[in-house]
Amino acid sequence: MTDFSSPLKSLKAGHWFKLICGASYQHLPAVRNLVLAYTLAGADCIDVAADPAVIGVARDAIATAIHLAPKIDFAPKIPQPLLMVSLNAGEDPHFRKAALDPEACPTDCAQPCVSICPADAIAFPSPHGVILDRCYGCGRCLPVCPIDQISAVSHTAKPEVVGPLIASGIVQAIEIHTQVGQELEFQQLWQTLSPFVPKLRVLAVSCPDGDGLLDYLASLYEVMTPLPCPLIWQTDGRPMSGDIGDGATRATVKLAAKVLQASLPGYVQLAGGTNRHTIAKLKAKGLLHPDLMSASINLKSPHPHIVGVAYGSFARQLLSRVQTELETFSNPQLEDHPHCLQTAVSLASSLVSQLKPFIPSQPLTPIEHGRDSPPDSSRR
Ligand code: SF4
Ligand code: SF4
């Protein structure tokens, strides 16, 4: 039986690290490589779209990482991460894709939609327009179109697809995205999920700020209780924006402080705008577990603290250079290109080690594991 005790210990110890692949992100080669690299770097949880194909590659990448870890001259004792799937209770920006009509584009358009897209999800002339599996719905392309022709198409993740995967143990955690005012939708989704809830190892509820937020979260708790597993309140400060600059993290730190003050039952974890500056800002505000705080900061003990951080856009951007290089190979699997694997795990561990100081963040040495081929420089 798989041992998931380590991620649960991370929650208690305040160094829980979650990779967000994206509730709408379905680019399978990139998802696989992200999951592989961050699992090898010590992530506690991998959060993916409610798509059986995405869940399948994430599961395969976790298994590959667990198999490879002992052979890598890096040797953290990596945990078996929890596989989490994101669902939405009502309309939510994480569950949408951009849409445009390439035939409507003026021939002299400078194509600002292409350059602003962080996921290389818009291309001309071929493939033509939005590449749906790459689009994760960040919305940045919408306002830059001079003829206002890009729209966002919302979708609802299917809990009935995920339920059997929870029942069989393939998916161990669920995240429900919600917003203030969506009680009815939340109750309906909870009812659909209820046969599977006893099998969950962790349940997360992700919510942005809004008027009446704390009362709303308290009402959701009433709907969900009693729970068989730990509950995480994910403070979604500034959704899908961690890669746009240092300041993007302010909103989620502020929101986490607000939710902590409410002393709701459950853990508090950040997301939405998280990046390399998040931990420093949390430290400055005294919001980390005492073991992660500098000894020079005088804290009342025990003090309310967050248990961890989830990284999405920033985590993906950090590895985007490696992914771009991998896409020049006929076989883009990360583990088959040792120099890329070394770089990717080193970059991922530079982020993970901010929360887990016991994991070294130094560069790794390349590995030999039977399917290696030297870097194919002729194709770069
Ligand atoms: S900018 Fe964002 S919403 Fe637009 S295509 Fe790219 S990923 Fe999708
Ligand atoms: S910015 Fe608008 S008009 Fe220009 S290429 Fe993109 S979708 Fe077409």
Same topology, domains 16-92+157-318 and 96-154? Answer is no
pLDDT value, residue 358 = 79
Q: Which ligand has its closest atom nearest to the C-alpha of 140?
A: 1
- Torsion over CA: 12, 16, 21, 23 (sign): positive
**Nearest CA residue ID for atom 4, ligand 1:** 141
Q: 26 CA distance to ligand 2 centroid (A)?
A: 23
Pocket lining for ligand 1, CB < 6 angstroms = 98, 116-117, 119, 121-122, 130, 135-141
Q: 265 CA distance to ligand 1 centroid (A)?
A: 36
For residue 373, give every residue at least 6 positions away whose Cβ sits within 8 Å of its Cβ, in sequence order, or none.
336, 337
Mutation probe of ligand 1 site: the residue of 24, 100, 130, 244 with most atoms within 8 A of C-beta: 130
Question: pLDDT tens, 286-295?
Answer: 999 888 876 5
Pocket lining for ligand 2, CB < 6 angstroms = 100, 105-106, 109, 111-113, 145, 147, 149-150
Query: Both tokens of residue 361?
Result: 């963040």
CATH of domain 16-92+157-318: 3.20.20
Q: 270 CA distance to ligand 1 centroid (A)?
A: 23
Tell which atom from ligand 2 comes closest to the C-alpha of 148. Answer: 2
**Nearest CA residue ID for atom 6, ligand 1:** 117
User: What is the number of other CB atoms lying within 10 angstroms of the CB of residue 174?
Assistant: 27
Q: 199 CA distance to ligand 2 centroid (A)?
A: 46
Classify residue 72 by burial, with Cβ atoms within 10 Å: 0-12, 13-18, 19+.
buried
**Nearest CA residue ID for atom 3, ligand 2:** 105
Identify the segments of the chain with pLDDT beneath 70: 1-3, 74-76, 294-302, 360-380
Classify residue 183 by burial, with Cβ atoms within 10 Å: 0-12, 13-18, 19+.
middle
**Nearest CA residue ID for atom 7, ligand 1:** 135
Query: Both tokens of residue 357?
Result: 């100081």
Q: How far from each other are the two terminal CA atoms of the chain, in whole angstroms?
A: 43
pLDDT value, residue 371 = 39
pLDDT value, residue 60 = 98
Residue ranges per structural domain of the chain = 16-92+157-318, 96-154
Phi, psi torsion values for 99, nearest 5 degrees = -140, 140
Q: Give the closest residue to 323 by CA, choosing from 295, 292, 303, 347.
A: 347
What CATH topology corresponds to 96-154?
Alpha-Beta Plaits (3.30.70)
Q: What is the pTM of this model?
A: 0.92
User: What is the number of alpha carbons within 13 Å of residue 241 lying toward its C-beta?
Assistant: 17
For residue 358, give every residue at least 6 positions away whose Cβ sits within 8 Å of its Cβ, in sequence order, or none.
none
pLDDT value, residue 246 = 84
Using alpha carbons, list the distances in angstroms from residue 252 to 34, 200, 208, 256, 359: 23, 26, 9, 6, 25
Question: pLDDT tens, 188-218?
Answer: 999 999 999 999 999 999 999 999 999 999 9
Q: Give the closest residue to 256 by CA, choosing from 279, 227, 224.
A: 279
pLDDT value, residue 368 = 37
pLDDT value, residue 76 = 61
Q: Which ligand has its closest atom nearest to the C-alpha of 107?
A: 2
